[in-house]
Structure 1
Amino acid sequence: MADDPRELTRLERAIDRAAHRVLAGRPATGARAVLIECVVFLLKQAWACVFGALLLAVIVAARLWYPDDAPLARNDALTIAAVLIQVGMLAFRLESGRELWVIVLFHITGTAMELFKTDMGSWTYEAEGVLRIGAVPLFSGFMYAAVGSYMVRVYRLHELHFTRFPPVWATTLVAAGIYANFFTHHFFFDLRWVLLALVALLWLRTVMYFRIWRAVLRVPVLLVFAGVALFIWLAENIATWAGAWFYPNQVDGWELVSPQKLVSWFLLMIISIVLVTWVYPPRSPDDRVPQRVRSGETAEAAEA
Structure 2
Amino acid sequence: MPRPLWRTLWHFTLSQVAACTFAFAVVALLLLSRTLPLAQWGVPRYDFLLLGCLLVQLILVTIRFETMREAGVILLFHLLGFFLEAFKVARGGWAYPEEAWSKVLDVPLYAGFMYASVGSYVAQAWRRCQLQVEGVPPLRVQAALIAATYLHFFLAPSVAVRLGVSLALVLAYRRAAVTFTVAGEAHRMPLLLAFVLIGGFVYLAENLATALGAWVYPYQVGGWQPVAPAKWWAWGLMTTPAFLVVSALKTWEARRSLGVLNSRDAAQASPGEEEGAGIHQV
Could you say which TM-score interval applies, normalised by the shorter chain? 0.7 to 0.9
Correspondence for 2:162 among 169, 183, 192: 192
The structure that has the greater radius of gyration is 2
Q: Indicate which of 49, 60, 67 corresponds to 1:78.
A: 49
| 1:140 aligned to which of 91, 111, 129 | 111
Q: How do 1:89-238 residues align onto structure 2 when only pairs under 5 Å count?
A: 89-185=60-156, 191-238=161-208
Contact kept, 8 Å, 2:38 with 2:44, in 1: the verdict is no
Task: Give the aligned residue type for 2:104.
Answer: I
Unaligned ranges ≥5, structure 2: 259-282
Contact 1:249 1:255 in 2 (8 A): yes
- 1:58–1:81 Cα contact (<8 Å) kept: yes
CA distance in 2, matches of 1:64, 1:121: 28
The residue number in structure 2 matching 1:69 is 40
Deviation larger for 154-163 or 256-265: 154-163
Higher helix share: 2
Identify which of structures 1 and 2 has the higher relative contact order when contacts are C-alpha pairs closer than 8 Å and 6+ apart: 1
Name the SS for the 2:184 alignment partner.
coil
Q: What is the alpha-carbon distance in structure 1 between the residues aligned to residue 37 and residue 63 of structure 2? A: 27
CA drift of 1:277 comes to 2.3
Give SS of 1:93's match: coil
Asked if the contact 2:177–2:188 (Cα under 8 Å) also holds between the matched residues in 1, the reply is yes
> Percent identity between the aligned chains?
32
Aligned to 1:275: 245
Name stretches of at least 5 consecutive residues in structure 1 with no aligned partner. 1-27, 284-288, 290-304
- Residue 9 of structure 2 is aligned to residue 38 of structure 1: yes
SS at match of 2:251: coil
Residue 20 of structure 2 is aligned to residue 29 of structure 1: no
Give 1:189 shift: 8.7
TM-score w.r.t. the length of structure 2 is 0.85
Which amino acid in the other structure matches residue 2 of structure 2?
T
TM-superposed CA distance for 1:127, in Å, is 2.9
How many Å separate the matches in 2 of 1:216 and 1:76?
43
- CA distance 1:196–1:189, change in 2 (3 Å): closer
Report the CA distance shift for 1:118/1:190 in structure 2 as closer, same or farther (over 3 A): farther
Distance verdict in 2 for CA 1:66–1:240, change over 3 Å: farther
- 2-structure distance, mates of 1:64, 1:227: 31
